[in-house]
Chains A and B, each alone.
Chain A
């Protein structure tokens, strides 16, 4: 079955730097990968989706890449701010294409 791995549990960076989070999948190449933000005690909020035929997607200070050779997606936040501190979840479809499965998430802390 498909597995989503976000190997870094925590990432600490300084304000203004670029945060780079990694998501790897282990099995078949999914049709897309999604990224969500989750604040403590709250539900995840959708940020970006990138399809397998797209190399890169941008939205304001966010950028996502999809490398099917490396079986990896990178999620970048440029000019990071303390307000960007949260847990970021990578997600993709299960093998049946019936639901989303999530990685464990990476908790980003941006210090001023």
Chain B
């Protein structure tokens, strides 16, 4: 099983809503990531979890709240978002934390397309 599964695939929410994006991997990977991607732009790193602990927060606004309940699951809780937060949110995992561990290869999910009205 070499998949990273993200749900939902599409999410439309208002600025006062609270929603969550979910990500799951069963490859035994010990690092998980959230990236944000706007149209025609590269993925931008948001958060990194290493061994289920938050290791990197790239100065992401507090309206995005990550959570790693166990080594296979990663959530991104959304609250009071702005229309400019509309984007494709990508979850990824890698064998080991840090880019020198293993091959450093990232396995991405298909993404959750978020639209904030």
What's the Cα separation between A41 and B99 when bound, in Å?
A: 25
Chain B 2-30 interface 0/1 with A at a Cβ cutoff of 8 Å (1 = within) = 00101000000000000000000000000
A99–B56 contact, CB under 8 A?
Answer: yes
* B100 contact set on A, CB distance < 8 A: 31, 93, 97
User: How large, as a class, is the contact surface on chain B?
Assistant: 20 to 34
User: How large, as a class, is the contact surface on chain A?
Assistant: 20 to 34
Jot down 5 A-B pairs with beta carbons below 8 A, ordered by A.
A43-B108, A92-B99, A93-B104, A97-B98, A99-B99
The 7 closest A-B pairs by CB, nearest first: A43-B108, A102-B42, A93-B99, A46-B105, A99-B45, A43-B111, A44-B108
B interface residues with partner A (beta carbon < 8 Å) = 4, 6, 33, 40-43, 45, 48, 55-56, 88, 90, 92, 97-100, 103-111, 113
